[in-house]
A and B are shown apart, each in its own frame.
Chain A
Amino acid sequence: MDFNQIQELIKLISETGLSEFHLEDKEFKLTIRSKEPETITETKIVSVPASMPSYPAPQYAPSAPAPAPAAVAPTPAAPAAGKKEDNNNYIEITSPIVGTFYRSPSPDKPVYVNVGDVVQKDSVVCIVEAMKLFNEIESEVSGKIVKVLVDDATPVEFGQALYLVDPS
């Protein structure tokens, strides 16, 4: 199970409102608990945008033995807390053209990215439409989306910041 899968799982679990989840196989054990006071640390990032959906702060705490340290590494709360005061660590994805910002390929399709999603270099993050020419905008950085800065279907200027990305 890789980091992305674990993240997917956390998202799924937080959406269902489960408070605790255990997974165990030959390789490792995974426990995900939510709504515990000490887990709130994670929401510090999350609380930056006021408008984003507030799902319960998840925590994934592998019970020993945990032979998958790579998957655990991104959890620590300390650096997240540090970033609360310091938005400078975030990178902006900006619009390369003047146009209209769309978060999804068409109104009936899901949005390209949500807060909390991890994007890679080359991930499509939105469409900016200019004169009926539809430009898929690719992220220039890898990281986690911490804030969507522009409302769907609204005009954007050249160089205007569209998303805030945590590259760590």
Chain B
Amino acid sequence: MNTNTLFIGQVFLTFPTLLSTNLFAMDYATKNNPSEGTVISTPNQSAGRGQIGSKWESEADKNISLSIILYPKFLKPIEQFDLIKITGLAVRDFIAQFIPEKVTIKWPNDIYVGNKKIAGILIQSSLSSSKIKHAIIGIGINVNQATFLSDAPNPTSIFLETGQENNLEILNRNLCWHVERWYLQLKAGHQMAIHEHYLTHFYKIREDAHFLNVATQEVFKGAIIGIEKTGQLRVFTSSGIQVFDIKGIKFLHENSKV
């Protein structure tokens, strides 16, 4: 398992416990001007963040929670969805080492095994004068956790899928290697290849599925055919191709009730 990186994780700060690696990293990046690729990590994140207001459940000493500080000054603020893409691809590749099949990126920033969530990504950036000052790439991956208490939809872990426990320290380093690999692809200007890969591993792409149109509260059948440059979902429906923002559409799983 490759752990040899150029810059991500060269400074690797581990804390026994943190409320949220992202919050800490955001603050740390503002105040300490850390070198690019500095990682903030904890085996015990007590108030991990999903999107605004929602929490990420993680049992102590079982899972990966880390945040990477990057300076993607080569990106315009409007191009930041590329960071979501490369992080999704890196985390997917990382998990696919253990679970070769069924690992997909659920739009926009969750990683699924089949219909179960195994990892989440939260990216926070700081914009000043319309430029990216720094971006914090927060990653949470369920590794050795065997039971989940929360009502989060269908969680799973590498352990639950494979029956194997893994060494978190090595996995942390290997995850950094995967993120660095994709980040360098982006830095080298390979947006098209990244886009293609992202869609290749896209959850439910070109499959008939049921969705909820949040604005109209209508359930409709359609198939995801791609995404816009800024990340909006393109869905082929009986009335043509429709484009949805995050809050505009919900996936309806076979077992979910409307």
- What's the least CB distance linking A85 to chain B, in Å? 30
**Contact (Cβ within 8 A) B52 A96:** no
A107 touches which of B53, B126, B133 (Cβ 8 Å)? B53
* Bound complex: CA A98 to CA B127 (Å): 13
B46 interface residue (CB < 8 Å to A): no
**Contact (Cβ within 8 A) B122 A135:** no
Task: Pick 30 A–B contacts, CB within 8 A, sort by A.
Answer: A96-B77, A97-B80, A97-B127, A100-B247, A102-B52, A106-B52, A124-B126, A130-B80, A131-B84, A131-B230, A131-B245, A132-B109, A132-B123, A133-B80, A133-B84, A133-B123, A134-B52, A134-B122, A134-B124, A135-B77, A135-B124, A135-B127, A136-B124, A136-B125, A137-B127, A138-B126, A138-B127, A138-B129, A140-B129, A158-B78
B130 interface residue (CB < 8 Å to A): yes
In chain B between 122 and 154, which residues have their CB closer than 8 angstroms to a CB of chain A?
122-130, 133
Known interface pairs A102-B52, A106-B53, A129-B52; A135-B125 also in contact (CB < 8 Å): yes
Residue of B nearest to A153 (CB): B52
B24 interface residue (CB < 8 Å to A): no
**Contact (Cβ within 8 A) A130 B230:** yes
A122 interface residue (CB < 8 Å to B): yes
**Best-buried of B122, B128, B246 by chain A (most CB within 10 Å):** B128
Residue of A nearest to B135 (CB): A133
How many residue pairs at the A-B interface have CB separations less than 8 Å? 75
Known interface pairs A106-B52, A140-B129; A131-B246 also in contact (CB < 8 Å): yes
Residue of A nearest to B232 (CB): A131
In chain B between 55 and 103, which residues have their CB closer than 8 angstroms to a CB of chain A?
77-78, 80-81, 83-84
In chain A between 82 and 106, which residues have their CB closer than 8 angstroms to a CB of chain B?
96-98, 100, 102, 106
Contacts of A129 in B (CB 8 A): 51-52
**Contact (Cβ within 8 A) A132 B51:** yes
- What's the least CB distance linking A109 to chain B, in Å? 10
Give chain B's interface secondary structure class. Answer: mixed
* Residue ranges of B at the interface with A (Cβ–Cβ < 8 Å): 26, 49, 51-53, 77-78, 80-81, 83-84, 108-109, 122-130, 133, 230-232, 245-247
Contacts of B245 in A (CB 8 A): 131
Contacts of B124 in A (CB 8 A): 133-136
In chain A between 8 and 53, which residues have their CB closer than 8 angstroms to a CB of chain B?
none
**Contact (Cβ within 8 A) A134 B125:** yes
Residue of B nearest to A108 (CB): B53
- What's the least CB distance linking B84 to chain A, in Å? 6
Residue of A nearest to B230 (CB): A131
* Bound complex: CA A133 to CA B49 (Å): 13
**Contact (Cβ within 8 A) A132 B77:** no
**Best-buried of A97, A106, A129, A133 by chain B (most CB within 10 Å):** A133
**Contact (Cβ within 8 A) B128 A133:** no
7 tightest Cβ-Cβ pairs between the two chains A and B = A131-B231, A96-B130, A138-B128, A134-B124, A136-B126, A133-B123, A97-B77
Contacts of B133 in A (CB 8 A): 138
- What's the least CB distance linking A17 to chain B, in Å? 33
- What's the least CB distance linking B102 to chain A, in Å? 23
- What's the least CB distance linking B6 to chain A, in Å? 25
Contacts of B246 in A (CB 8 A): 131-132
Residue of A nearest to B109 (CB): A132
* Bound complex: CA A124 to CA B125 (Å): 11
Contacts of A134 in B (CB 8 A): 51-52, 122-125
* Bound complex: CA A108 to CA B54 (Å): 11
Contacts of A96 in B (CB 8 A): 77, 127, 130
**Contact (Cβ within 8 A) A107 B52:** yes
Contacts A97-B78, A134-B125, A135-B80 aside, 12 further interface pairs with beta carbons under 8 A come to A98-B78, A102-B52, A130-B230, A131-B81, A132-B122, A132-B246, A133-B80, A133-B124, A133-B125, A135-B126, A138-B127, A140-B129
